[in-house]
A and B are shown apart, each in its own frame.
Chain A
Amino acid sequence: MMRISGRSRSSHPPPASAGTDASGGVILYLNDITVSFDGFRALNALSLELQVGELRCIIGPNGAGKTTMMDVITGKTRPDSGSAWFGRSVDLLGLTEPEIAQAGIGRKFQKPTVFEQHTVFENLELAMAGDKSVWKALFARISAARLEQIEQVLERIGLSGHRFDRAGALSHGQKQWLEIGMLLMQDPQLLLVDEPVAGMTPQEIERTAELLTSLAGKHSVVVVEHDMEFVRSIARTVTVLHEGSVLAQGGIDDVQGNPKVIEVYLGV
C-alpha cells in the first residue's frame, strides 16, 4: 500500500506547528479511503495525490463525497479503511482535529464561519499560527512582527478598512475573505477551501479567484466548487468525484469533454 518511501514513523502526533516533510513533492496522499454511513458509501476506495504548491479543484455532483473527503483529511471523520498522509511524515488518521490544524492543514467551511462577535482583527489574531494551549493564551501578547503579518493579510483580503468592525457585520463575501485570511494567518502548508464563491456577486467571485490563485505555489490548495465558470478561471487540474471515488482527472477541457463526466452531470 505504501508508495512513498522512507515513512517508517507511525502515528506519533507531531509537535505543534511542526509542518510536514514534503520533500517528496507530494503534500497530500489519500489511498483507498472508504467511509460508510449506515451502509451508504460516502467515499468508496478514494485515492488522490496532491503535489506541493498545486491548486486543485474538486468537482462532482451532490453526494459525490467532496465534503466527506475534507472531513477525513481534517480529522472530523474517521474512514473505515485506507490511509491518509500529509507529506511524508504525518499520518492524518492518527491525529485529532486540532493536531491536524497545528500540523499545517487549514480548512475553510462551506458556510462562512468566522467569529461573529469578534472584530476582524481579533479573528485574524486568533487564527495566528503558534502555541495554542490555554496557559500560553492567558499571557499571550502580539509581537510587532505578528502585527505586521496581520496588516499584510488584512491588505491581501481587502479588509484593512474594517479591522475594528465586528466580523458579524461584514457582508457575505467579506466573511468568506476573512475566513481565507484566517487560513493565511494559520500559515498552513495545505489549504482546503469548500465552495468559496457560493452566494457571491460576479465581482466578488473575480477577486476570490485572484486571491486563491495568488496562494498557490507557496501553499498547496484544494478547492471544492460547483461553479464551473469559477473552476475554469482558477484550475489547472480538476478532479471529478462521483459516488465516492475519482471519476476523471485532468485539465478542465479534458474533463468537460469526458463522456463519463457528461453522463454524471447531465444524466445522459
Chain B
Amino acid sequence: MSESVVGNSAVVAGNGGGLRKAIRADRGGTVLLGVLLAIALLVPALNLLVPADSVLHMSGYAVTLLGKYMTYAMLAMAVDLVWGYCGILSLGHGAFFALGGYAIGMYLMREIGSRGVYGNPLLPDFMVFLNWTELPWFWHGFNSFPFALSMVFLVPGALALVFGFLAFRSRVSGVYLSIITQALTYALMLAFFRNDMGFGGNNGFTDFKDVLGFNLQSPGTRMVLFLLTAAALGGSYSLCRYIIDSRAGRVIQAVRDAESRARFLGYRVESYKLWMFVLSALLAGLAGALYVTQIGIINPSEFSPTNSIEIVIWVAIGGRGTLYGAVVGAFLVNYAKTYFTAALPSMWLYALGALFVIVTLFLPNGVVGLLGARFGKYRLATAK
C-alpha cells in the first residue's frame, strides 16, 4: 500500500499532541510505565545507597521478591495477550515460562564449571551423581550466553509454533484447547521429572554461581537483574500495547468476538492466532529466564498444571483484556500469597479461591475495571 499516512481511527477524532493523546488513550498503561520507572529509580537507591540500619533501607530479599513479582507480571501479560484479546484460554503457559527458565538454567549450570560439589569441570553435579561420563548432545552450546539466550526464545517459541499450528489449523478452540494446553504442560512436567531426560530430574537446577562472570549473590548483580526485569516488563507492555492498538490488534479482537465473520472478510484467522500465541510464548519464556536468574532455582514443578491455572486467576483478578490489569493481578495475588503463606500457610488456597470467586461474581472486569469505572469509559469516548 502506497497510501499517505494519516494514522489510525483515533485520527478521525482530531489532532493533538501525540504523547498527550497516547496518555489519554491509555491511562492505565501510562500509570504502569510511570510506576515502573519510579521503581527503577527508587529501588536501587533504597537498596544500595540507604544504609542497612535505616528504616528506609530495602533488603536484598525484598528486591528479589519484587523482581519475582515482575517476572510473574510479564507472564500474566503474556496470558492476557492471548486470553483477553484473542480469546485463547491457555492453561499451559507455565510450560513456556519453565522452558525459558530451563534454557537459561542450563547456561547457569555450565557457568558453575568446576565449582560444583563434585568439582567436575565438564559435567554438572547431577550428571556426576548419575554416573554419566559425557555431556548429552543437547547440552552443547549452553556454555555460551548468546546461545542460551536465543534458546530462551527459540524453545518456547518453537513449541508454541508447532502446537499452535496444529491446534489452530484443526480449528480447536474453547475448552478443548484449554484442556490440550493443560495436557501439554502436564506431559512436560512428567518428562522433566525423569532423571534420564538430562535436566536434573525432580531437583532441577540450582546452586548457580554467576552469570557472564558476575557473582549472582552480589547486590550489584542482583540490582542489574532487577532493573533488566523492570525494563523487560515495560518493554513487553509497550510492545503488546502497540500490537493491540494496531490494526492487527483490532483484527485479533474481531476474531475473538466473531471468528467466522473475520474469516469471511478475508482474514486468515489461524495465522493471527498463531502469531499472537507464539509472541505470548516468547514473552513467557523471557519472563521464565529472568525468574530463574533471580530466584536461583528451576525444577519440574514449574510445569505443574496448577501453576498455569494460577496465572489465569491473576489475569482474571487484575482485569482481563487490559494488559496492565494482568500486571496488577500478578502483583496483588502474589503479594497476598507471600503474606498468607507466611502468616497462615493453611489458609492460602482458600484465600485464593475466595478471591477468585469474589472477583468473578462482583468484579467481572477485575480490579482495574473497578478503578476504570471511576475514570474513563470506552477509550474512544475520551478520544472524541
Contacts and interface: CB of A to CB of B under 8 A. Distances in A.
Q: Do A and B come from one complex?
A: yes
Interface string B3-27: 1111111011100000000000000
B325 to A, nearest CB: 16
A164 B13 CA distance: 9
Given A141-B7, A141-B8, A186 B247 contact: no
B12 to A, nearest CB: 7
Interface size class of A (residues with CB under 8 A): 35 or more
A21 B292 CA distance: 59
Contact of A118 (B253, B260, B263, B269): B253
Contacts of B384: 164
Contacts of B250: 118, 122, 125-126
A115 interface: yes
A107 B260 CA distance: 10
A102 B380 CA distance: 30
Given A98-B266, A101-B263, A118-B253, A147 B271 contact: no
B247 A140 contact: yes
Interface of B: 1, 3-9, 11-13, 243, 246-248, 250-251, 253-254, 257-258, 260-269, 271-272, 275, 378, 380-381, 384
Interface of A: 16, 74, 76, 97-98, 101-102, 106-107, 109, 113-119, 121-122, 125-127, 129-134, 136-147, 163-164, 166, 182, 186
Nearest to B383: A164
Contacts of B381: 164
Contacts of B13: 164
Contacts of B257: 115-118
Contacts of A146: 3
Contacts of A16: 266
Given A113-B258, A116-B257, A126-B250, A141 B5 contact: yes
A223 to B, nearest CB: 17
B264 A142 contact: no
9 closest Cβ pairs, A-B complex:
A143-B3, A101-B266, A137-B248, A140-B247, A102-B266, A115-B254, A137-B247, A113-B261, A138-B248
A198 B6 CA distance: 39
Contacts of A117: 253, 257
B248 A126 contact: no
B337 to A, nearest CB: 32
B270 to A, nearest CB: 9
B265 A131 contact: no
A142 B378 contact: no
Contacts of B9: 119, 121-122, 125, 142
Contacts of B12: 121, 147, 163
A142 B247 CA distance: 10
5 contacts: A115-B258, A122-B250, A126-B247, A140-B248, A182-B265
Nearest to A168: B257
Contacts of A115: 253-254, 257-258, 261-262
Nearest to A130: B1
Given A141-B7, A164-B380, 19 more contacts: A74-B264, A97-B264, A98-B269, A118-B250, A118-B254, A122-B9, A122-B250, A125-B250, A126-B250, A127-B265, A130-B1, A132-B265, A134-B268, A136-B1, A140-B1, A140-B8, A140-B247, A142-B3, A142-B7
A119 B380 contact: yes
Given A114-B258, A164-B384, A140 B275 contact: no
A134 B265 contact: no
B29 to A, nearest CB: 18
Contacts of A130: 1
B157 to A, nearest CB: 15
A136 B271 CA distance: 13
A154 B266 CA distance: 21
Which of A133, A136, A138 has the largest number of chain B CB atoms within 10 A?
Answer: A138
Given A114-B258, A118-B253, A186-B266, A147 B247 contact: no
A116 B254 CA distance: 8
Contacts of A109: 260-261
Given A115-B257, A131-B1, A133-B268, A147 B263 contact: no
A141 to B, nearest CB: 5
Contacts of B6: 141-144, 147
Contact of A98 (B11, B243, B253, B268): B268
A264 to B, nearest CB: 30
A237 B271 CA distance: 40
B34 to A, nearest CB: 26
Nearest to B268: A98
A119 B261 CA distance: 15
Nearest to B7: A141
Contacts of A129: 266
Nearest to B271: A134
Which of B5, B265, B380 has the largest number of chain A CB atoms within 10 A?
Answer: B265
A142 B265 contact: no
Contacts of B254: 115, 118, 126
Given A121-B12, A134-B271, A141-B3, A166 B378 contact: yes
Nearest to A169: B378
Contact of B247 (A119, A125, A145): A125
Contacts of B11: 142
Contacts of B258: 113-116
Given A102-B266, A132-B266, A140 B4 contact: no
Contacts of A102: 266
A145 B4 CA distance: 9
B266 to A, nearest CB: 4
B246 A138 contact: yes
B80 to A, nearest CB: 15
